[in-house]
Amino acid sequence: MSHMEGLFPKSQEVAEPVAAGRVVGVAVATNVWRTFDYLWPAGLGEPSLGQRVRVPFGMGNRKTLGFVVDLKEHPQSVARLKSVTEVIDEASQFDDVLWKLGDWISKYYLTPLGMTLAAMIPSAVGKHAPKEESVAFLAAEHHDWPAKLGLRQKNVLDELLEARKQGVEPITLEQLLHHSGSNRGTIRSLVGRQLIRLETREVRLPELTDESAADPFELNEDQQAVLKKLDAKLGGGFSVSLLHGVTGSGKT
């Protein structure tokens, strides 16, 4: 699973619930312990464990976040089963290690699996709706600019022309407003005159590189002593340790 691709996956809506060849067990992200069977919609490929979905839940069929936790064949009767209404992820957000960890956390802390898995999803991914921003392009060549332009209008066009020369066009609307000293009224005027155009694009997080990784953290003597004791316990199976210290002593 890519580190960055799929951070904000596009969900797939199911206009009309339709049955396919699979039934999935879904753990809803509410305070309910049992799982519920749903029909997997046709045409969306094979479901995978940990995949996020939205399902009609309860008497009011409230659209509720859930996770695929079981893959089944058709039971003897599917007539009364509801269908998954939205598939949020193209693939599971959990690898095998995270999946087992979520299951363990659920059992150890006596928390429903759906709520546990939801808490493990980073907030940016959990929202799943891509963050968007407005970007600006020049829509007219320099020689086509009107002879009469207001100062702010000219500043906006000059800023975009410079961005094009430097190969960094488009630039975000916020950058354009800041560097040109203009306002949104000026932008609307230039768009109306077809001198610039605005588009909306998805905001993507920058790719991480080896150079962007933080330098290794150096432990102090107390931290090293604690880590040595914890390391000695790792090979002996599950254990519980209490880390005690005042605020600011380096526990985190």
Specify the fold of 132-202. Arc Repressor Mutant, subunit A (1.10.10)
CA atoms of 66 and 40, how far apart (whole Å): 13
Phi-psi sector, 86: left (phi>0), alpha (psi -120 to 50), beta: beta
Q: Produce one character per residue of 69-85: b if its CB has 16 or more CB atoms within 10 Å, e if not.
A: beeeeeeeeeeeeebbb
* CATH H superfamily, domain 12-127: PriA, 3(prime) DNA-binding domain (3.40.1440.60)
Whether omega for the bond prior to residue 112 falls within 30 degrees of 0, making it cis, is: no
Point out which residues pair with 24 in neighbouring strands.
38, 71
Structure tokens at 213: 């990784």
* Start-end of H helices in 16-169: 96-108, 113-120, 123-127, 151-165
DSSP per-residue codes, 26-61: EEESSS--S-EEEEPPTTS----TT-EEEEEETTTT
Contact 27, 113 (CB under 8 A): yes
Taking the model in full, what pTM does it have?
Answer: 0.54
Per-position pLDDT tens, the chain of length 252 = 444 344 334 454 444 444 445 888 999 999 999 999 998 877 777 888 889 989 999 888 889 999 999 988 766 566 678 888 888 887 888 888 998 999 999 999 999 999 999 999 887 665 555 678 899 999 888 888 888 889 999 999 999 999 999 888 888 999 999 999 999 999 999 999 999 999 988 777 666 666 656 667 788 888 888 888 888 888 777 888 888 888 878 787
Where in the chain are the domains?
12-127, 132-202, 217-252
The amino acid present at 209, given as its one-letter code, is: T
Whether 132-202 and 12-127 are alike in CATH topology: the answer is no
